[in-house]
Amino acid sequence: MNKITLLGVEEQREQLINSLMEFGAVEIGSVSDQDYGKIASHPEVREDLSRIDNKLLDVQATLNILDRYCPEKKPLFSTKRPVDIAEVREINSEKERIFSDVYKIREYEHALIELKAEENRVNNLYRSLLPWKDLTLPVDFPGTKRTGFTAGTIPAAVGWDLIESEVPEKAPLCQIFRINTDKDQHYAYIIYHREAEQETLSYLKSRGFNRTTFGSLSGTVDKNLKQIEINLEQIAKKREEIIDKIRDMRGSRNSIEILYDILSMERSRIEAVEKVVKTNKVFLIKGWLPEKLSDSAKNYLESNYTVSVEIEEPAEDEAFPVLLENRGLAEAGEPVLRMYSLPDSREIDPSKIMTPFFVIFFGLMLSDGGYGVILAILAAIILWRFKLQDSTRKFMKLMFFCGLSTMFWGLMFGGWFGISALVPYALWFDMVSNPELMLSWSLLFGVIHMYVGLGLKAANLIRRRKYLDALFDVGFWYVFFTGAVLTLLPYAPAINQEKAVQISSVGKYLLAAGAVLLILTQGRAKKGIIKKFFSGLSSLYDLIGFLSDILSYSRLLALGLATSIIAGIVNQMSVMFDIPVVLKVFIAAAILLIGHAINFGINVLGAYV
């Protein structure tokens, strides 16, 4: 990456920033206005950002509404629709029309929300009236000249027999009628003589009576329930009419999606403007762009704008944005790298070095060549048939290479859909019959992988001209770790013990020499001889971590065995039923298809993780 500095005329600032965005390869950095005192400042963009954010919220909400009521049928591997610059400019020129569609759809959604609230209110009223369905008197019945009418509830804990037995004595001038009873309360209405109103209500209150009011309703409960049902039908009809109107506007989706992207780009432009330092006459922009585009960018800007462009390499200690540029196998490994973290701007891109190990180890863990064929074919078809997003394309490319790797190891170990008859044709050995040998090779692959990682660390140190650090922090660890590996070699399974013992004697000397070298150098950053010594001594504990990491590579054996053994078990299960041949064929086919599909899916996931 190169650093770019632009000094231009203020009146061309907007057009120049738009050109940089169309160029698509410049990352604009922040410039501190404190370096220029009171003569320069950042543009004020808070109101513009707030305005754009509100529009983005409206447009996103509209897209969510369309997804809810008229969802698009998406392919198995969806990708963003390609849009050319002419279409973007056309949509940009029709912004007002598209925004009118946006606001119209939002209004429809608001109407649906109001209908939902009305529906909830009416449903609640319906549920509250339902227990009173058998009340034949109008709910607004005022009584007569000498009799009054009221309705209400009494807790169900109060037995109705008790009420009926007490009323003649404690409220003799009233009649109480039960309409309904549920687990919580009795629903009743009371006809009473007006002269005994207080006496009647006092008794009822002593039994927990709670008067029910029917608000502005009139007529019988049954009549009101029927009217509510009609109202609910009308609400449902209105809802469908509004939803149909929303569906009729599904054709606006593409334009609204492009409008959202235009607004997002506009927001990015405003954020870029915020990083600019300007005066009344000029502006200053600093940023980064790829080295290979530096000359063309400089020529384009200087030929189209009144601007001074300065391109320079970053200082040795200056951090800059990271842009990965890989092809082939290394490019396929970028999704795995991004899953953890991108390398530092001063570090070597590990994709070219570590991706081959990922692919090799994936194949070792899946190990069945038949599964590798399926994986490679599936990935190839997806890459060929679908226009994928860049990250998805790289992932599928990685799966294709992993499928090829699995096919290779299937040839080496004789694993093809768990078919035991093909195992004798293995080019190397059968891992199921020789698990100890496979374990030894797995540990060796782990040692190689760890050593390559250490080598990458050394390369990064050398790149920064830290030659002694590379020697002390990598070279001496190579000596120490190699000594440990050779010392422990006789204990590895399936190893020629006689030769291993001879080699291990050399390993002891290397181990001791490495330990001394590390004790003398790993505490070099500390002050004082004692601190240096104990810091160097404590660093030897990293051997435990190294050996633990090496042992973790036994999963190459574990997952490889799991794939092969489960595949073989599925094959055995498919032919173990003593049933008629025709039925046996169908059952065997089902078991093979389902069993191998599950085994394939689980072990592909396990190998990837």
- CA of residue 182 relative to chain centroid, distance: 49
- Mean pLDDT throughout 401-412? 95
The CA angle 279-283-287, to the nearest 5 degrees, is 140
Instruction: Report in angstroms the alpha-carbon separations of 175 from 183, 339, 477.
Output: 24, 78, 100
Q: How confident is the model at residue 152 (pLDDT cuts 50, 70, 90)?
A: very high
Torsion of CA 515, 516, 521, 526, to 10 degrees: 90
CA-based max dimension of the chain: 121
What residues does CATH 3.30.70.2750 cover in the chain? Answer: 141-213
Which token pair is 258?
A: 């492009």
The whole-number average pLDDT for the span 119-144 is 92
- pLDDT of amino acid 391: 86
The answer to which of 86-90, 126-130, 236-240, 544-548 has the lowest mean pLDDT is 86-90
Looking at residues 240-249, what average pLDDT do you find? 93
pLDDT of residue 153: 94
**What are the angstrom distances between the C-alpha of 350 and each of 289, 325, 355?**
21, 12, 8
Please enumerate in sequence order all residues whose Cβ is within 8 A of that of 28, keeping only pairs 6 or more positions apart, or say none. 17, 20, 272, 275, 276, 285, 286, 287
Residue 590 CB neighbours (<10 A): 11
Encode pLDDT of 416-474 as tens digits: 998 888 999 999 988 888 889 899 999 999 999 999 999 999 999 998 888 999 999 89
- Confidence (pLDDT) at 36: 65
Q: Which residue has the tokens 């449903």?
A: 123
HEC string for 283-309: EEEEEEECHHHHHHHHHHHHHHCCEEE
Per-residue model confidence (pLDDT) at position 348: 86
pLDDT at 302: 87
- Rounded CA separation 331/325 (Å): 8
- State the average pLDDT over residues 485-505: 84
Q: Cβ(364)–Cβ(446) under 8 Å? A: no
Residue 278 corresponds to which tokens in the numbers above? 């300007």
Pick from 186, 88, 70, 176: nearest CA to 131: 186
Average pLDDT, the chain: 88
Cα(609)–Cα(52) distance, rounded to whole angstroms? 41
Q: Measuring CA to CA, which residue among 300, 361, 358 is closest to residue 329?
A: 358
Q: Which pLDDT does position 78 carry in this prediction?
A: 59
Q: What is the pLDDT of residue 91?
A: 87
Assigned CATH topology for domain 141-213: Alpha-Beta Plaits (3.30.70)
Residue-level pLDDT at 386: 84
DSSP-derived 3-state class of residue 27: strand
Structure confidence at residue 73 as a pLDDT band (50, 70, 90): confident
CA distance 222 to 130: 9
Name residues whose C-beta falls within 8 Å of residue 349's C-beta, 6 or more positions apart in sequence. 324, 326, 330, 343
**How many angstroms separate the CA atoms of 524 and 519, rounded?**
9
Sign of the torsion angle spanned by Cα atoms 538, 539, 540, 542 = positive
Q: Which two tokens stand for residue 199?
A: 């006496």
Distance CA 591, CA 599 (A): 12
Task: Find the length of the chain.
Answer: 609
Tell which wins on pLDDT, 427 or 347. Answer: 427
**Rg, C-alpha atoms of the chain:** 40
